[in-house]
């Protein structure tokens, strides 16, 4: 992997999850919500967890539905709010709120101070290879459902000085922020795709790459991989 200033020029990697489920930890958060900074700090603390990218993959989804109360969260994406609302529709989530945490697609209210126990659930192995702007992946599972592979770029070590709203005057620090993503559908659990080098361009110096598979009729992540770049 070659780095130039704050963006990735070339990337080469090969990741494998193993058969046991690597759980995606989804944090729905907002810079406009005064209850969110403790959750953001908790997610940041996972950077030093020895099981990071081995038994779990953290992703922070900043939502935009609190922007109206005085601060526009520049890290928020409308797609993130839509994803959280879909969890509510599918009964994975009792209500739409921040900070909200899901573990492997299920609402997790006891996250603060809790250990992320490694899953013993054998769901099948996800292998992801990226080389020369080519992406190859395979999800080896006995379940022959139609799957979506989601590849996401995460921002690390991001600081924001909040000038308005509930967190006015605070400097907020963020990690594992979903910056962008691409999705690919397969009915065989195999993918052979092109991925542009522009996907890895970011104004943020420190980034990570994660990927997960979900069924086309259920967005709860089934298996995942991740690494710092």
pLDDT, one tens digit per residue, over 14-23 is: 999 999 999 9
Specify the pTM.
0.94
Of the listed ranges 8-12, 20-24, 74-78, 89-93, the one predicted with least confidence = 8-12
14, 203 in Cβ contact below 8 A?
no
What residues does each domain of the chain span? 2-228
What tens digit of pLDDT does each residue of 155-193 get? 999 999 999 999 999 999 999 999 999 999 997 899 999
Between 10 and 149, residue with greater pLDDT: 149
Give the pLDDT of residue 144.
Answer: 83
Q: What is the pLDDT of residues 91-145, one digit of tens each?
A: 999 999 999 999 999 999 999 889 999 999 999 999 999 999 999 999 999 888 8
219 vs 226: CA distance, rounded Å: 18
Cα dihedral sign, 78-229-176-201? negative
Judged against a pLDDT cut of 90, whether residue 222 lies above it is answered with: yes
10 pLDDT tier (thresholds 50, 70, 90): confident
Edge-to-edge order in the sheet of strand 134-140: 13-16, 125-131, 134-140, 190-194
Verify cis geometry, omega within 30 degrees of 0, for the bond prior to 99. Answer: yes
| pLDDT at res. 60 | 98
- Residue 9 has a pLDDT of 53
Residues of the chain with pLDDT > 90, as a percent, come to: 91
> 162, 172 in Cβ contact below 8 A?
yes
């Amino acid at each position: 992997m070659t780095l130039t200033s704050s963006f990735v020029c070339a990337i080469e990697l090969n990741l494998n999850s193993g058969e046991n489920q690597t759980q995606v930890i989804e944090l729905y958060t907002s810079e406009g919500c005064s209850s969110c900074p403790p959750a953001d700090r908790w997610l940041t603390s996972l950077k030093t967890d020895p099981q990071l990218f081995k038994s779990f993959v953290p992703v922070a989804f900043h939502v935009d539905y609190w922007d109206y109360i005085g601060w526009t969260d520049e890290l928020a994406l409308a797609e993130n709010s839509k994803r959280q609302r879909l969890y509510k529709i599918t009964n994975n989530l009792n209500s739409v709120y921040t900070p909200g945490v899901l573990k492997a697609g299920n609402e997790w209210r006891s996250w603060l101070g809790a250990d992320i126990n490694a899953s013993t659930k054998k769901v099948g192995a996800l292998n992801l290879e990226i080389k020369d702007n080519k992406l190859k992946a395979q999800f080896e599972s006995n379940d022959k459902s139609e799957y979506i592979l989601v590849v996401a770029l995460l921002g690390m070590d991001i600081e924001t000085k909040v000038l308005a709203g509930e967190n006015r005057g605070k400097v907020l620090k963020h990690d594992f922020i979903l910056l962008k993503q691409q999705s690919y559908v397969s009915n065989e659990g195999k993918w052979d795709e092109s991925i542009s080098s522009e996907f890895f361009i970011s104004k943020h110096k420190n980034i990570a790459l994660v990927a997960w598979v979900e069924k086309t009729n259920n967005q709860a992540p089934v298996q995942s991989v991740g690494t710092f770049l």
